[in-house]
Structure 1
Amino acid sequence: MRTFAVSALREPPFPARQHDATARVARESTEWALGHGLIANGHRLRRLRRADAAGLAGRACPEGPVDGLRLLTDLISWLFVMDDACDEDGLGDSPTRLAPTVAALLDVLDGHGERTDARATAAGPLGEALGDLCRRAHAAGGPVTLLRFVGEVREYLLALLWEAANREHGRAPGLAEYVQMRRHTGGVHPSFTLTELAAGALPGATHRTEPSLVALDLLAADLICWCNDVFSYGKEHLGQPDVHNLVAVIAAGRADGDESSALRAAADRFNEGLTAYLATEAALLATGDDGLRPALTARRNWVRATYDWSLGAARYA
């Protein structure tokens, strides 16, 4: 599948860079995951190391303070652990199984990461680690950043319940529905927030509501998720097929269900999205508004990072 992805996907025309502290942060983030009980020595530790969260974060955030890169890497590690619990360990097989975990994690978000004995008991390691992320986001970015981050993680958790309901009923979502929900199941928006925080470049409310930046934000999220879907499709369909992949959704919507045609259509969708992204970005740059540049840099870094990380990611081998 990697060979197909390399041949079919247009390489994002952005510079490829990586943070100098990536190797150090990889070690520290693994210790963080072990310390919070997210993983233990053995299969889950090997799985997290293969995911290479720091490699992805270091490309998405190639410069800036190490503490900011650590926070982003820890978020990505948490997302990988949560996704693997749902997709590979059976937690996301049905809403009734997943709901107690989501409820406990929502309680952590409602409390903005503040510790209580009852909350720690109910949420377990996932909740304790999420609370730590909230507290650090608040310390680094203040209440506005915390509220933005909490809202975006909440959307991610609720989208996981949507996935679980689809799995329970063997339901393949329609293309438009999938595209919308994939932006949330991919955890892209909280990752953008912590990337901007690490770069010291969080856009203000005026810029965040600028229609062109909103459109670019959605295009970037789509490109990241679709790139991931094409690279990961082979692994995800070695065992029991999962409908939550752009290729699978396109195939399910075709009368013949042809996989090769769906793969090509998914790649075409990425390539067309990249063309639209470049046009939207150029229009924003032409405004001469320097306040937009940090947000644009963060998004192009993420698009490039996802492509480069996917080329060598053992997670999809």
Structure 2
Amino acid sequence: MHVATADQHTADWLMRFGLVRSEEHLNHYRRQGFAWMVARMFPNAGLEELCAFTDLNTLLFLLDDYLDHQESSASPENRDKKVKAMIDGFIRVLRQPKYGEQSGNPVFVALAELWQRMKKMSSRSWQRDFIQSIVAIFTAAIWQHENVKAGKWPLLADYMEQRQYLGAANIATDTIAVVDKIRLPRKMYEHPLLQELTALCRNTVCWANDLFSLSKEIAHGDYHNLVVLLSHEENISMEEAIVRACEIHDDQVKQFMRLCRYLPNEGPVMKMELHRYVEGLKNIMRANIDWSDYETSRYQYEYEEHVRTHKVREHYLMEAAV
């Protein structure tokens, strides 16, 4: 309903703060359809929330592209300095918004303005958790950056542990509480079952993204990808690794669906809130597939069509059975 308005808002926001270099650069990001991604993930979002989280996700993708560019340009010393300054500054803005307003850095100025809007729609405890989620994202980004700098291939197990943060999937699941106004106490978010469901949601989103982004990452020589690491570590062909990645994805979707049947019984009100949160997780999982398939120019998947359409999507079609 509000998606076209949110898309235009974010385009204006990017231009107002000088986050894009030209009309062509702006159109590059608009073609990626971030407003449609956010709208699919959070179908209950009002216009204010949709604009704010489209701004946020666009900024994170823009920053990811910036950090990727730093891997292939400038001297190692200057590259490290720029990456560290961007990360340190980003986190500092969240803790001290006035720093962003006065920094003169377009990213930090824009973030300070966005953060003020996000604070108005969220609780202080959520804001503290969000900052920690951003720290986790950048910690994972530094881990990847150090691997690339050293020419080191990560262990598959280590990559699978870090991937949800490399893909900022933790930010997506954090957003549910704000957009859907979920009222769950911290002890429920810390419940082992809910933590496992949340991790499975994040991971399956990232495994699907690794399949969708595979062609692009192979072209860029990026080996931080589930398929590439499976092929490398298990000494199998790329085609076999694609099938294995699909199996990992689908097995975890099945596990998610199975665990949904065993939500804690904490009374009717809590049960309703838990159900709404889990529905939010499902929305993210399904939305990621549909957006990647139909609405973004970010991924150009060049491998077997039946692998993508059957293996990656089949279990989402079974959600009604949960």
Q: What TM-score do you get using the length of structure 2 for normalisation?
A: 0.84
Give the distance between the partners of 2:23 and 2:53, measured in 1 at CA: 24
For 2:142, which of 146, 161, 167 is the aligned residue? 161
Q: Which residue of 1 aligns with 2:22?
A: 41
For 2:93, which of 86, 95, 108 is the aligned residue? 108
Instruction: State whether structure 2 residue 114 is matched by structure 1 residue 99.
Output: no
Q: Output one character per residue of 1:9-63: Cα deviation in whole Å (capped at 9) or x when no partner.
A: xxxxxxxxxxx11111111111112212221324431221122110100100112
Q: Output one character per residue of 1:249-285: Cα deviation in whole Å (capped at 9) or x when no partner.
A: 11121235x2111111111110101000101112228
Instruction: State whether structure 2 residue 266 is matched by structure 1 residue 282.
Output: no
For 2:157, which of 166, 170, 176 is the aligned residue? 176
Q: Which residue of 2 aligns with 1:8?
A: none
What is the letter of the counterpart of residue 308 of structure 1? D
Give the distance between the partners of 1:78 and 1:117, measured in 2 at CA: 16
1:199–1:91 Cα change, 3 Å: farther
Give the distance between the partners of 2:107 and 2:72, measured in 1 at CA: 13
SS at match of 2:125: helix
Q: Which has the higher contact order (CA 8 A, sep 6+)?
A: 1
Give the distance between the partners of 2:27 and 2:70, measured in 1 at CA: 15
Q: Which residue of 1 aligns with 2:124?
A: 143
1:83–1:251 Cα change, 3 Å: same
CA contact (8 A) 1:75 1:191 kept: no
Give the distance between the partners of 1:301 and 1:148, measured in 2 at CA: 21
Q: What TM-score do you get using the length of structure 1 for normalisation?
A: 0.86
Q: Which residue of 2 aligns with 1:69?
A: 50
Segments of 5+ residues of structure 1 without an aligned counterpart are: 1-19
Written as runs of structure 1 = structure 2, the 5 A alignment for 1:226-241 is: 226-238=207-219, 240-241=220-221
For 1:295, which of 260, 272, 277 is the aligned residue? 277
For 1:53, which of 34, 38, 58 is the aligned residue? 34
Q: Give the number of aligned pairs.
A: 292
Written as runs of structure 1 = structure 2, the 5 A alignment for 1:127-276 is: 127-238=108-219, 240-256=220-236, 258-276=237-255
Q: Which residue of 1 aligns with 2:306?
A: none
What is the letter of the counterpart of residue 316 of structure 1? Y
1:66–1:138 Cα change, 3 Å: same
TM-fit CA distance, 1:97: 4.1
For 1:83, which of 64, 77, 80 is the aligned residue? 64
Segments of 5+ residues of structure 2 without an aligned counterpart are: 301-322
TM-fit CA distance, 1:286: 7.3
Give the distance between the partners of 1:133 and 1:176, measured in 2 at CA: 35
1:165–1:116 Cα change, 3 Å: closer
1:254–1:95 Cα change, 3 Å: farther
Give the distance between the partners of 2:24 and 2:160, measured in 1 at CA: 32
What is the letter of the counterpart of residue 296 of structure 1? V
CA contact (8 A) 1:220 1:303 kept: yes
Give the distance between the partners of 2:27 and 2:218, measured in 1 at CA: 21
TM-fit CA distance, 1:173: 1.0
Query: How much is the aligned-residue C-alpha RMSD, in angstroms?
Result: 2.1
After superposing on structure 2, the runs of 4+ consecutive aligned residues of structure 1 that deviate more than 3 Å are 88-97, 114-118, 285-288
Q: Percent identity?
A: 23
SS at match of 2:234: coil
